[in-house]
Amino acid sequence: MTYNPKEEMTVLLALKELGLASPEEIGEMLEKIKNPVLHQTVRLVLERWKARDVVVVDLSTGTKRYKLANVPAPFQSMKMENIAKLRLSDTKQIMAELNAAFPESTSAIKEPVGKIGNYKTLELTYETIDPILGGTPVDGETEFKLHRDGDNVPVISPAQLRGWFRENLRLLDINPNAHNWMAFTDSKPIGEPKLTKVSAPVVIKGRGGTGIAHYECFDRGNKFRTIIRIPLNGVGFKSISDVERMFKMCEVCPKRGLGANPYYVGGKVRLLEMKEV
């Protein structure tokens, strides 16, 4: 695929104007203004700038959407209609300056190599240090509840735990794509769960502004038990102790907390016990 700085700038500007959007929503916007970009290209651009901490993922609505964490200087006053007036040389210069201002991590994450396998099954018991917010929409973009299993018991879903591992494995220089070869079950509360409600600011999709969302959540001090499976070959795990090490790091400063809207409430958890089963 040939690199096109104008397409890259177009995707980032579209994200700025939407405020919070999925790749499909960005693609639809660009098609409406007759400036289409392939969906595959939109995804590549978003992931590329996510690696540079310019773009972040937001799961507060239960759907993976992106938003700008940093609005680069050239984009602060620029609007979508300005794109058509820029020459290719101008866009190349702007994107080159942007690349220099937000370099990619020097500790490159390698793709999995060799045979992936030697799976270990682990039973984890952990407790919440911060509230863990539910991300299942109840009322549009402002009301969310906890995920529930088939018995209507509130749980931390496999998707939430998978996302937490995906982001925090970077702290160990383990390929974040490792989550594609991991397996997770519901994290079920031990005993009667302590629930509460939290209100937090959110970016309202398509409006570029903020609002207040209300979340059902697990309070501090809840204990959970879950089963996970990890491959020790092919994705960067050296031993099952890597899981303990990641939990220990995340007690204090996770790259991403567990649950919805973790950047507001923290979403920190503490590992109490891990055993191979």
pLDDT digits (tens, 9 = 90+) for 120-163: 999 999 999 999 999 888 876 688 999 999 999 999 999 899 98
Single residue among 101, 135, 152 that ends a domain in this structure: 101
The answer to whether residue 194 sits within a structural domain is: yes
Rounded mean pLDDT of 65-90?
76
Confidence (pLDDT) at 220: 96
Considering the domain architecture, whether residues 89 and 139 belong to the same structural domain is answered as: no
CB 267 within 8 A of CB 254: yes
Partners of 209 in beta bridges: 204
Considering the domain architecture, whether residues 125 and 258 belong to the same structural domain is answered as: yes
The answer to whether residue 108 sits within a structural domain is: no
Complete DSSP assignment for 173-199: T--GGGGGG-EE--BEESSS--EEEEE
Each residue's pLDDT tens digit, 38-49: 777 888 888 888
Q: Is the pLDDT of residue 96 over 90?
A: no
The answer to whether residue 111 sits within a structural domain is: no
Q: Is the pLDDT of residue 195 over 50?
A: yes
The answer to whether residue 41 sits within a structural domain is: yes
Provide the residue range defining the domain that includes 242: 117-276
CB 230 within 8 A of CB 238: no
* Dist. CA 249–CA 95, nearest whole Å: 35
Considering the domain architecture, whether residues 132 and 59 belong to the same structural domain is answered as: no
Using pLDDT thresholds of 50, 70 and 90, give the confidence band for residue 247. Answer: very high
The answer to whether residue 110 sits within a structural domain is: no
* Dist. CA 157–CA 11, nearest whole Å: 31
Confidence (pLDDT) at 1: 46
Rounded mean pLDDT of 75-82?
74
On the 0-12 / 13-18 / 19+ scale of CB atoms within 10 A, 243 is buried
More confident residue, 165 or 57: 165
The answer to whether residue 109 sits within a structural domain is: no
CATH at residue 147:
3.30.70
Confidence (pLDDT) at 209: 54
The answer to whether residue 50 sits within a structural domain is: yes
Considering the domain architecture, whether residues 68 and 152 belong to the same structural domain is answered as: no
CB 200 within 8 A of CB 58: no
Considering the domain architecture, whether residues 91 and 128 belong to the same structural domain is answered as: no
Q: Is the pLDDT of residue 63 over 70?
A: yes
Structure tokens at 174: 């383990």
Rounded mean pLDDT of 96-109?
64
Q: Nearest Cα to 4, choosing from 49, 41, 55, 43?
A: 41
Considering the domain architecture, whether residues 51 and 125 belong to the same structural domain is answered as: no
* Dist. CA 26–CA 69, nearest whole Å: 17
Considering the domain architecture, whether residues 125 and 11 belong to the same structural domain is answered as: no
Domain total in the chain: 2
Confidence (pLDDT) at 111: 45
Confidence (pLDDT) at 225: 98
More confident residue, 38 or 191: 191
Single residue among 75, 101, 127 that ends a domain in this structure: 101
Considering the domain architecture, whether residues 132 and 179 belong to the same structural domain is answered as: yes
Average pLDDT score over the chain = 84
Considering the domain architecture, whether residues 160 and 33 belong to the same structural domain is answered as: no
Using pLDDT thresholds of 50, 70 and 90, give the confidence band for residue 70. Answer: low
Single residue among 71, 101, 131 that ends a domain in this structure: 101
Confidence (pLDDT) at 122: 97
Q: Is the pLDDT of residue 201 over 60?
A: yes
* Dist. CA 157–CA 185, nearest whole Å: 7
Confidence (pLDDT) at 53: 76
* Dist. CA 216–CA 198, nearest whole Å: 7
CB 255 within 8 A of CB 170: yes
Strands annotated E in the chain: 55-58, 65-68, 117-128, 132-133, 136-139, 143-145, 147-148, 154-155, 183-184, 188-189, 195-204, 209-218, 223-233, 269-276
CA 64 → CA 46, 76, 83, 127, 206, distances in Å? 12, 24, 27, 25, 15
Considering the domain architecture, whether residues 24 and 132 belong to the same structural domain is answered as: no
Q: Is the pLDDT of residue 72 over 70?
A: no
Considering the domain architecture, whether residues 130 and 77 belong to the same structural domain is answered as: no
**CA-based angle 160:263:221, to the nearest 5?**
65
Q: pLDDT exceeding 90 applies to what percent of the chain?
A: 38
Considering the domain architecture, whether residues 160 and 206 belong to the same structural domain is answered as: yes
The answer to whether residue 106 sits within a structural domain is: no
